[in-house]
């Protein structure tokens, strides 16, 4: 008997629901903007924070394909629909389907929002927020900036946004409308990497430490140290900018938040790291707690990941990217130890509390127990 809404939510948070599309429109040549209606009975489960993401699932032939997409809209705007942006990737089965086949009124399997790429806003705050986004990395950054503007009338937002060309600037109309709506509160710098910028060549190229340095020098009114940053783009951009802000500009780490692009749309790299090669070769009994049920299997530490073995055994484990990016496969170690190959999603605090990404984990003790329900 489920008598607590919290327990109910915890048990079913990994389940997919069929949501109807209320918008399917081309945003740029290779991006589609999709909105889903949330029926009243799912409103609670699909309550989201700015900057979170959803997982979608498609069963294509024998394949169970899952992808993560950041939410574009802010909780304080709109009609409660949930909006995402999907960039078409070459050979990306799901992104191709969503860009080329999906129609208004179609249903898509969607999991409840998750992720922690956000900060908490309060109307009395007088803060500064700087968004740094490349291409489709705009989604969670824009969601955060919009929520800040709606929630905090005394705060300011800045957006430095790079795209290949002016024609490919995602959500340009909406961003320009926000600049007008929140007059003096939002300043936007558009960068283009593959064409001339008609105003200033400073805005030609990609976002990098060097580029930011020049922009900050030219616009000293940008409060570089006294801002919270939302960064989303490719890993090399995030790393370069993160180091620059924290080391060179002395921005406190807690003020620098970042979200990686989703893992590659299809497939993944299987390069083995030296650390993985060094783990002990042993047989382990792995137990998983999923939706209050326990499942056990044997796994050699050098073979596939815990998630891959669970999927092979057809267990109902949650997953999406399988690349250590989305966090959907998160579980907490209750017993034993595991080696985690990659982690682009968990915070240091979560790792310290024993959370792991099971798509990246191999057992390193003879007995391991992981709990997905926490
Ligand atoms: S499935 Fe995305 S991090 Fe593991």
What pLDDT score does 369 carry? 98
Select from 3.30.1330.20, 2.60.120.260, 3.10.20.30, 1.10.8.60 the CATH code of 274-371.
Answer: 3.10.20.30
What pLDDT score does 2 carry? 35
CA distance 363 to 337: 6
What pLDDT score does 272 carry? 76
Convert the pLDDT of each residue in 90-123 to its tens digit.
Answer: 999 999 999 999 999 999 999 999 999 999 999 9
Distance 354 CA to ligand 1 centre (A): 16
Task: For residues 51-60, give the mean pLDDT.
Answer: 94
Query: Does the Cβ of 320 fall within 6 Å of ligand 1?
Result: yes
What pLDDT score does 47 carry? 95
215-224's contacts with Cβ under 8 Å and 24+ in sequence apart are 215/160, 215/189, 216/249, 222/130, 222/158, 222/187, 223/128, 223/156, 224/249, 224/251
Convert the pLDDT of each residue in 167-192 to its tens digit.
Answer: 999 999 999 999 999 999 999 999 99
What pLDDT score does 65 carry? 94
Convert the pLDDT of each residue in 23-45 to its tens digit.
Answer: 999 999 999 999 999 999 999 99
What pLDDT score does 13 carry? 59
Q: Which of 69, 310, 317, 329 to probe ligand 1 with, by most ligand atoms within 8 A of CB?
A: 329
What pLDDT score does 270 carry? 54
Query: Does the Cβ of 361 fall within 6 Å of ligand 1?
Result: no
- The structural architecture, per CATH, of the domain 5-111 is Beta Barrel (2.40)
* Nearest C-alpha neighbor of 262 from the set 233, 238, 240: 233
Query: From the alpha carbon of 358, which atom of ligand 1 is closest?
Result: 4
Q: Which helix (H) or strand (E) holds 31?
A: strand 31-36
pLDDT range class, residue 273, cuts 50, 70, 90? confident
Span(s) in the chain for CATH 3.10.20.30:
274-371
Span(s) in the chain for CATH 2.40.30.10:
5-111
Convert the pLDDT of each residue in 276-304 to its tens digit.
Answer: 999 999 999 999 999 899 999 999 999 99
What pLDDT score does 271 carry? 65
pLDDT, averaged across the chain: 92
Span(s) in the chain for CATH 3.40.50.80:
128-260
Q: Looking at the predicted structure, is the pLDDT value of residue 11 above 70?
A: no
Convert the pLDDT of each residue in 137-147 to its tens digit.
Answer: 999 999 999 99
Query: Does the Cβ of 327 fall within 6 Å of ligand 1?
Result: yes
What pLDDT score does 261 carry? 72
Query: Does the Cβ of 318 fall within 6 Å of ligand 1?
Result: no
CATH of domain 128-260: 3.40.50.80
CA distance 135 to 146: 17
CA distance 87 to 69: 10
Query: From the alpha carbon of 345, which atom of ligand 1 is closest?
Result: 3
């Amino acid at each position: 008997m489920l008598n607590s809404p919290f327990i109910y939510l915890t048990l079913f948070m990994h389940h997919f629901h069929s949501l109807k599309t209320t918008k399917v429109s081309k945003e740029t040549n290779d991006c589609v903007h999709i909105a889903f209606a949330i029926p009243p009975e799912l409103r609670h489960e699909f309550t989201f924070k700015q900057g979170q993401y959803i997982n979608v699932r498609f069963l294509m032939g024998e394949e169970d394909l899952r992808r993560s997409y950041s939410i574009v809209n802010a909780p304080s705007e709109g009609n409660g629909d949930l909006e995402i942006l999907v960039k078409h990737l070459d050979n990306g089965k799901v992104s191709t389907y969503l860009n080329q086949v999906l129609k208004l009124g179609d249903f898509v399997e969607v999991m409840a929002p998750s992720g922690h790429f956000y900060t908490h806003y309060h109307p009395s705050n007088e803060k500064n927020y700087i968004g740094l986004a490349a291409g489709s990395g705009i989604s969670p950054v824009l969601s955060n900036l919009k929520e800040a503007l709606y929630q905090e009338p005394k705060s300011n937002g800045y957006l430095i946004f790079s795209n290949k060309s002016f024609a490919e600037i995602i959500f340009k109309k909406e961003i320009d409308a926000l600049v007008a709506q929140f007059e003096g509160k939002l300043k936007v710098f558009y960068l283009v990497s593959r064409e001339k910028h008609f105003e200033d060549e400073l805005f030609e190229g990609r976002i990098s430490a060097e580029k930011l340095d020049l922009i900050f020098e030219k616009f000293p009114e940008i409060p570089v140290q006294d801002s919270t940053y939302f960064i989303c783009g490719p890993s090399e951009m995030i790393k370069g900018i993160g180091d620059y802000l924290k080391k060179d500009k002395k921005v406190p780490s807690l003020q620098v938040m970042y979200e990686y692009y989703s893992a590659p749309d299809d497939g993944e790299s299987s390069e083995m790291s030296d650390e993985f090669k060094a783990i002990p070769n042993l047989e382990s009994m792995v137990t998983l707690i999923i939706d209050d049920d326990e499942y056990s299997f044997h796994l050699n530490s050098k073979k596939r990941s815990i998630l891959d073995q669970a999927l092979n055994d057809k267990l109902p484990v949650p997953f999406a990217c399988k690349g250590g990016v989305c966090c959907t496969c998160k579980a907490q170690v209750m017993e034993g130890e595991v080696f985690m190959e990659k982690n682009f999603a968990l915070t240091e605090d979560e790792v310290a509390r024993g959370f792991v990404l099971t798509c990246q984990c191999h057992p390193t003790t003879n007995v391991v127990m992981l709990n997905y329900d926490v």
